[in-house]
C-alpha cells in the first residue's frame, strides 16, 4: 500500500523545514510537528525524535506528539476562539497547541505545562510570543474541563474531510469522526506455518502480555465447475493485545512467529487465497488440464504484510495451502484435481526503499526467496521495483501486449489512507481535498493496466485503507462499467465484518477495539 505524502496547502503556514533534535522535550516535539506541517510524514520523523531522547523522556514525548496530532484540528479551532486576534505564525500556533494538550489531555500539572511551554517558545526563538502563550494557557488552566468538553464536542478533522465523511457515512458520521480521534488497538498475525493462534496466545500469557483471540468470518459466492454459484466461508483469526507492546517484547518475534498487522488487513490474503482455490476447483473437471503451475501477483505490495500472509498460507500444512488442495462441500477434491506443483509469485512496488522494506520483512519471517527454495514447496518469488500503471509481466515497454498471465491478483491499491488515521494521525494534516481526485485517477490507471494481465476465470481482490467512497465502491462501479468481463463476487451475510456496499464491503474504524478502515471488493474475469 502506497501512501502519498502531500504538504498542506495553507499559505499562512510556512514552517521551517529544518528538523533539529536538540533542546527540551517539548521543543523537540514542537519541531517535529513543524516538520510534519511542512510535508514530512510521522513515520519519517518519529524515530529521530525518540532516538534523540533519554529513555525516561520517550514515553512523554510519544504521548505528547501523538495526542497533539489526534486532536490537532479541534485544538486549532479552540485556539482561534481563545485568541483576540488571528495567530498566523505557525510556530506560535504549534507551541500553544502543545501546551493545550498538556492541560486538557495529558493531565500535566498547570504550572509545569505553562512554564515549560513558555520556555519552549523562547528556545525556538519566538520570545516575542511568550506573553500570548502564557495568557492563553492560563485562561484554559482555570477551567480545563470546560475547554476539554468544547474541544471534544465536534470532530478533529479538516473541514473538507469531515464534510466528505458526512456525505459518505451520514448514519455513522458522529461515531466515525470521534473514533478517528482515538488510538487504535494493536493486533498480531500469527504465522500459521509455524504455530497456531491459540499456542501463541499461551506464549504471550507466559510473557505476561494479555491478548484476546479475534475471529472474522468471510463468506462469498464463487463459480463452480457446473457454472453455478457456490457459497464458501473462511475464518481469519488474529490476536488483539490489551495494551500496545514493543515488538522486542513479543515471544519469538525476531524468529518470524508473529507480525504486527491490523485485524482488517488480515482479511486480504485469506480472501484471495480462497478465491484462487475456487478457481482451481472450477477447473477440476477438465481432465486434460495438466498445467499444475499457477502465477499470482501482489501489486503495490510494500511493506509486504499481505504478501507475507499469503506466503504463510501457501506454506502452511493445512487446507489453506495451495499444495494441499482439499476442501469439504465438494469444492475441491484432491482425488480429482491435480496437485499444484509450482507457484510463481510476483510482487511489485514503485519505490526502491519500499522494495527493500518488503525484503526485510520477508527475511524476518523466513519467507525470502532463499527460504522458499529450501522448503519442500516449490514457490518462486520475484520482487520487482516497477510502476503498476505501466508494468507488464515479461514484457519491455515497447513490446508490451498485456497478455493474460496471472491466476490471481491482490491489488493493495494506493489511497488517501483515511482509514488508518488512528495509527497515522498526520494524515489529517498532510492530505488535501485535491488528493482524492488524483488518487482515484491513479487507482483507475493501475486497474486498467493490470486487468488485461489476469487470466479468464482468475480473481482480482481490490483493497484500500480508505473510508472515502470515491476511492472504493465508486471506483469499482466505474471500473465494471468499462470492463464487461469483470464479474462482481458477492460477499454473503456470513461476513461478521464491514458494511455491505453496492460492490464489496467497507470496514469503518468506529469501535475502539476493532480494526481500521479497509475496503474490499472481489472481481472475477469471465
Same domain, 249 and 397: yes
pLDDT at residue number 359 = 96
Model confidence pLDDT, tens digit, residues 200-227: 999 999 999 999 999 999 999 987 656 6
Domain endpoint, select from 132, 154, 176:
154
Mean pLDDT of 356-371: 92
Count of domains observed in the chain: 2
Same domain, 197 and 274: yes
Catalytic residue list: 465
Model confidence pLDDT, tens digit, residues 471-520: 999 999 999 999 999 999 999 999 999 999 999 999 999 999 999 999 99
| Residue 367 domain flag | yes
Nearest-angstrom CA–CA distance, 422 and 433: 19
Percent of residues, the chain, with pLDDT higher than 90: 80
| Residue 341 domain flag | yes
Q: Is a pLDDT exceeding 80 seen at residue 165?
A: yes
Domain endpoint, select from 154, 175, 207:
154
Nearest-angstrom CA–CA distance, 123 and 133: 13
Same domain, 374 and 463: yes
Q: Is a pLDDT exceeding 70 seen at residue 48?
A: yes
Angle at which helices 90-104 and 144-152 cross, to 10°:
110
Q: Which of 34, 69, 72, 62 is nearest to 151 (CA)?
A: 72
Q: Is a pLDDT exceeding 80 seen at residue 408?
A: yes
pLDDT at residue number 317 = 73
Same domain, 398 and 499: yes
Cis amide linkage into residue 447, ω under 30° from 0: no
Q: Is a pLDDT exceeding 60 seen at residue 327?
A: no
Q: Is a pLDDT exceeding 80 seen at residue 306?
A: yes
Q: Which of 329, 217, 243, 338 is nearest to 285 (CA)?
A: 338
Same domain, 372 and 424: yes
Contact 89, 129 (CB under 8 A): yes
Domain endpoint, select from 154, 172, 196:
154
Same domain, 111 and 68: yes
Mean pLDDT of 260-269: 98
pLDDT at residue number 16 = 42
| Residue 477 domain flag | yes
What are the cell numbers at 306?
499481505
Q: Which structural domain, as residue segments, surrounds residue 506?
A: 187-284+293-525
| Residue 169 domain flag | no
| Residue 353 domain flag | yes
Read off the CATH number of the domain in which 107 is found: 1.10.940.10
Mean of all residue pLDDT scores within the chain: 90
Counting beta carbons within 10 angstroms of the beta carbon of residue 89, is it exposed (0 to 12), middle (13 to 18) or buried (19 or more)?
Answer: middle
| Residue 12 domain flag | no
Same domain, 210 and 142: no
Residues in CB range of 107: below 8 A, 6 or more apart: none
What's the pTM? 0.92
- Name which of 21-25, 269-273, 379-383 the model is least confident about: 21-25
| Residue 175 domain flag | no
Read off the CATH number of the domain in which 270 is found: 3.40.50.150
Same domain, 96 and 204: no
Residues in CB range of 244: below 8 A, 6 or more apart: 183, 185, 186
Same domain, 248 and 100: no
Same domain, 330 and 477: yes
| Residue 149 domain flag | yes
Mean pLDDT of 449-470: 97
Model confidence pLDDT, tens digit, residues 428-453: 999 999 999 999 999 999 999 999 99
pLDDT at residue number 374 = 75
Same domain, 129 and 218: no
pLDDT at residue number 337 = 43
- C-alpha atoms less than 13 angstroms from C-alpha of 350 in its C-beta half-sphere: 15
Same domain, 191 and 149: no
Amino acid at each position: 500500500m502506497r501512501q502519498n505524502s502531500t504538504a498542506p496547502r495553507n499559505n499562512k503556514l510556512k514552517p521551517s523545514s529544518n528538523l533539529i533534535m536538540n533542546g527540551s522535550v517539548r521543543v523537540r516535539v514542537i519541531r517535529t510537528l513543524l516538520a510534519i506541517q511542512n510535508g514530512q510524514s510521522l513515520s519519517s520523523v518519529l524515530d529521530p525524535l525518540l532516538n534523540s531522547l533519554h529513555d525516561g523522556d520517550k514515553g512523554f514525548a510519544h504521548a505528547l506528539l501523538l495526542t497533539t496530532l489526534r486532536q490537532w484540528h479541534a485544538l486549532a479551532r479552540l485556539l482561534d476562539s481563545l485568541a483576540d486576534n488571528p495567530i498566523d505564525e505557525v510556530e506560535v500556533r504549534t507551541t500553544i497547541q502543545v501546551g493545550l494538550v498538556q492541560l486538557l489531555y495529558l493531565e500535566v500539572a498547570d504550572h509545569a505545562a505553562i512554564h515549560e511551554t513558555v520556555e519552549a517558545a523562547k528556545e525556538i526563538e519566538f520570545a516575542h510570543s511568550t506573553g500570548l502563550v502564557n495568557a492563553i494557557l492560563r485562561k484554559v488552566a482555570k477551567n480545563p474541563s470546560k475547554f476539554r468538553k468544547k474541544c471534544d464536542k465536534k470532530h478533529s478533522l479538516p473541514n473538507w474531510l469531515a464534510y466528505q465523511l458526512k456525505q459518505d457515512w451520514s448514519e455513522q458520521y458522529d461515531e466515525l469522526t470521534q473514533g478517528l480521534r482515538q488510538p487504535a488497538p494493536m493486533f498480531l498475525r500469527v504465522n500459521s506455518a509455524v504455530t497456531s493462534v491459540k499456542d501463541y496466545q499461551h506464549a504471550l500469557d507466559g510473557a505476561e502480555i494479555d491478548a484476546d483471540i479475534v475471529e472474522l468470518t468471510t463468506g462469498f459466492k464463487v463459480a463452480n465447475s457446473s457454472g453455478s454459484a457456490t457459497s464458501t466461508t473462511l475464518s481469519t483469526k488474529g490476536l488483539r493485545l490489551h495494551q500496545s507492546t514493543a515488538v522486542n517484547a513479543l515471544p519469538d518475534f525476531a524468529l518470524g512467529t508473529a507480525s504486527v498487522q491490523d485485524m482488517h488487513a488480515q482479511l486480504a490474503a485469506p480472501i484471495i487465497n480462497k478465491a484462487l482455490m475456487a478457481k482451481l476447483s472450477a477447473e477440476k473437471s477438465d481432465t486434460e488440464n495438466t498445467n499444475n503451475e499457477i502465477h499470482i501477483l501482489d501489486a503495490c505490495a510494500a511493506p509486504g504484510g499481505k504478501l507475507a500472509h499469503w506466503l504463510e498460507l501457501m506454506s502452511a500444512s493445512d487446507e489453506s495451502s495451495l499444495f494441499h488442495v482439499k476442501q469439504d462441500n465438494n469444492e475441491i477434491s484432491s482425488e480429482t484435481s491435480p496437485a499444484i506443483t509450482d507457484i510463481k509469485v510476483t510482487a511489485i512496488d514503485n519505490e526502491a526503499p519500499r522494495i527493500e522494506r518488503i525484503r526485510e520483512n520477508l527475511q524476518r519471517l523466513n519467507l525470502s526467496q532463499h527460504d522458499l527454495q529450501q522448503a519442500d514447496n516449490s514457490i518462486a518469488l520475484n520482487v520487482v521495483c516497477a510502476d503498476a500503471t505501466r508494468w507488464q509481466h515479461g514484457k519491455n515497454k515497447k513490446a508490451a501486449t498485456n497478455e493474460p498471465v496471472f491466476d490471481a491478483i491482490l491489488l493493495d491499491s494506493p489511497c488517501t489512507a483515511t482509514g488508518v488515521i488512528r495509527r497515522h494521525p498526520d494524515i489529517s494534516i498532510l492530505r488535501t481535498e485535491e488528493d482524492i481526485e488524483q488518487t482515484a485517477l491513479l487507482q483507475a490507471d493501475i486497474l486498467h493496466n493490470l486487468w488485461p494481465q489476469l487470466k479468464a476465470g482468475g480473481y482480482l481482490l481490490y483493497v484500500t485503507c480508505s473510508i472515502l467512497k470515491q476511492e472504493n465502491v465508486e471506483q469499482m462501479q466505474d471500473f465494471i462499467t468499462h470492463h464487461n468481463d469483470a464479474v462482481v463476487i458477492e460477499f454473503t451475510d456470513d461476513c461478521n465484518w464491514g458494511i455491505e456496499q453496492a460492490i464489496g464491503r467497507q470496514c469503518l474504524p468506529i469501535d475502539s477495539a476493532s480494526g481500521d478502515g479497509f475496503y474490499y471488493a472481489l472481481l472475477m474475469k469471465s
